Amino acid sequence: MQQLHPERGGLFVDCTVGLGGHARALLEGGATRVLGLDRDRQALDRARTTLEPWADRVTLAHADYRSLASVLDAEGIAVMDGALADLGVSSMQFDAPGRGFSFQRDEPLDMRMDMSQGDTVADLLARVPERELADVIFQFGEERFSRRIARSIVEQRATAPIDTTARLAAIVRRAIPYRGHQRIDPATRTFQALRIWVNRELEGLDAFLATAVRRLRAGARLAVITFHSLEDRIVKHTFRALAHSDEPLIAVLTKKPIVPGPDEIDANPRARSAKLRVAERLA
């Protein structure tokens, strides 16, 4: 909120509205109007409840943030007075039963943020070639044992479908050599990779950032929160490119990302890997 300055009023767009927490803070901070996008219908339902006191000042749209331009056009919005994107999976998606994002419960292996369309992770694991699967796990999970894991998945799917979180997690753990106590569960990186893959989380992120910047009013700001290095790298390099082109569009206000302090991490452990980068539209 300190970076976005909602107290100046105007239209702010929460490109990943989730449960509505950021949108609520924008409205409480002085934003005149908020447009919220999310591709998860369950999240939109929750956001609608959160934002009910400001219902006459809020518009919610079932849309991927990469559809920002078309949503703005449909709403007759030429420019934004500020925008926010909080990337990745939300706590609601992790915690909601039946979504398959977490291996803490045994449930169907879905992982789609938008459950109204597309393949589930179980669908993809049933047919994707071993080499492609290994590449996905390595690229999106930065998992050094990706080839062993992919080989094990292909071997095991020949005996029975891999359609639950517990079965997949067990297969991954058995495929990774035992290395004594580990800080994170051995299945974590593979689950991250598959989630990013099925939701195309990195695909088009750079184009979205460029679109968002171009639709900002001069002096307005775009704030982006990332939770893993792959996302943060794209945001960092895209902001840098937009700031150092022949005709710079933005000034990057965060030479280093803003990260949570110890008190915030104690209160919200899931914030520990968050990084906030902010850019301001030039005239």
What is the mean pLDDT, run by run of 10 residues, along the chain of 283 residues?
Answer: 96 96 97 96 93 97 95 97 89 69 88 88 95 96 95 96 95 86 84 91 93 97 94 96 94 96 91 94 92
pTM: predicted TM-score of the whole model, two decimal places: 0.87
Domains and CATH numbers, the chain: 6-88+203-281 (3.40.50.150), 100-199 (1.10.150.170)
What's the token pair of residue 3?
């970076």
- Indicate the DSSP class of residue 164: B
Angle at 180 between CA 179 and CA 186, to 5 degrees: 60
Integer Cα distance of 122 and 202 in angstroms:
20
pLDDT of residue 90: 64
Integer Cα distance of 220 and 171 in angstroms:
48
Order across the sheet with 11-14: list the strands.
58-62, 33-38, 11-14, 82-86, 221-226, 275-281, 250-252
What's the token pair of residue 22?
């950021």
- Indicate the DSSP class of residue 51: T
- Region label for 5, one of left (φ > 0), alpha (ψ between -120 and 50) or beta (otherwise): left
pLDDT of residue 118: 87
Give residue 176's Cα distance to chain centre: 27
Integer Cα distance of 181 and 160 in angstroms:
30
CB 205, CB 233: distance < 8 Å: no
Size (the chain), residues: 283
Integer Cα distance of 223 and 84 in angstroms:
5
Helices then strands (H, E): number in the chain? 12, 7
21 class by beta-carbon count within 10 Å (0-12 exposed, 13-18 middle, 19+ buried): middle
Among candidates 106, 26, 28, which has minimal Cα distance to 36?
A: 26
Give residue 204's Cα distance to chain centre: 12
pLDDT of residue 180: 64
pLDDT of residue 171: 96
Residue 149: half-sphere exposure toward Cβ, Cα within 13 Å: 29
Angle at 216 between CA 213 and CA 217, to 5 degrees: 145
Q: Residue 80 pairs with which residues in a beta bridge?
A: 216
